């Protein structure tokens, strides 16, 4: 979820530059599309690990804190903050589905459905790739 937040923030930041000035509907649509694209990239998916609800709670907490800090300290426009939130929003169906009482819960977002080529790899490589995506995205937001 946190990688989606940062890529959404980066995308929103790039699309709100004066030379681009994309409309909000386009920014949000591309933020959702970015979620699907990132889901294709091999990454560590904690939803298949033991302790998935704990990992989900950590992920959501860090994601919410990121949006709050981006608003408070980076003074990003609302459209950029919305792009970050919208890009991560689809993961809420996954988080709801992995709760102990709903292990076989229904997923709604296209890249979370059975049969979608959702990229997966071992934690060591997947986390390293996710950190790389976050660092690059953060640089596009901050610099």
Cα(62)–Cα(134) distance, integer angstroms: 13
Query: Tens digits of per-residue pLDDT, 57-89?
Result: 999 999 999 999 999 999 999 999 999 999 999
Helices (H) and strands (E) in the chain, counts: 6, 0
State yes or no: pLDDT of 104 exceeds 80. no
Q: In terms of Cα–Cα distance, which of 116, 64, 125 is closest to 89?
A: 64
CB 12 within 8 A of CB 71: no
pLDDT of 114 = 81
Model confidence band, residue 116 (pLDDT cutoffs 50, 70, 90) = confident
> CA of 132: how far to CAs of 49, 83, 139, in Å?
22, 20, 11
pLDDT of 59 = 92
Cα(118)–Cα(102) distance, integer angstroms: 21
State yes or no: pLDDT of 42 exceeds 70. yes
Going from N- to C-terminal start, the domains of the chain cover 2-142
Q: Is the dihedral of CA 4, 8, 24, 110 positive or negative?
A: negative
């Amino acid at each position: 979820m946190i990688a989606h937040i940062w890529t959404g923030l980066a995308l929103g930041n790039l699309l709100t530059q004066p030379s681009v000035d994309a409309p909000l509907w386009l920014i949000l649509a591309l933020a959702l599309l970015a979620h699907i694209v990132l889901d294709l990239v091999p990454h560590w998916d904690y939803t298949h690990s033991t302790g998935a609800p704990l990992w989900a709670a950590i992920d959501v907490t860090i994601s919410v804190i990121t949006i709050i800090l981006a608003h408070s300290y980076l003074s990003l426009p609302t459209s950029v903050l919305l792009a970050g939130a919208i890009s991560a929003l689809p993961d809420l169906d996954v988080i709801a589905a992995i709760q102990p009482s709903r292990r076989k819960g229904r997923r709604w977002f296209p890249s979370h459905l059975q049969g979608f080529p959702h990229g997966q790899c071992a934690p060591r490589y997947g986390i390293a790739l996710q950190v790389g995506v976050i660092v690059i995205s953060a640089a596009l937001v901050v610099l």
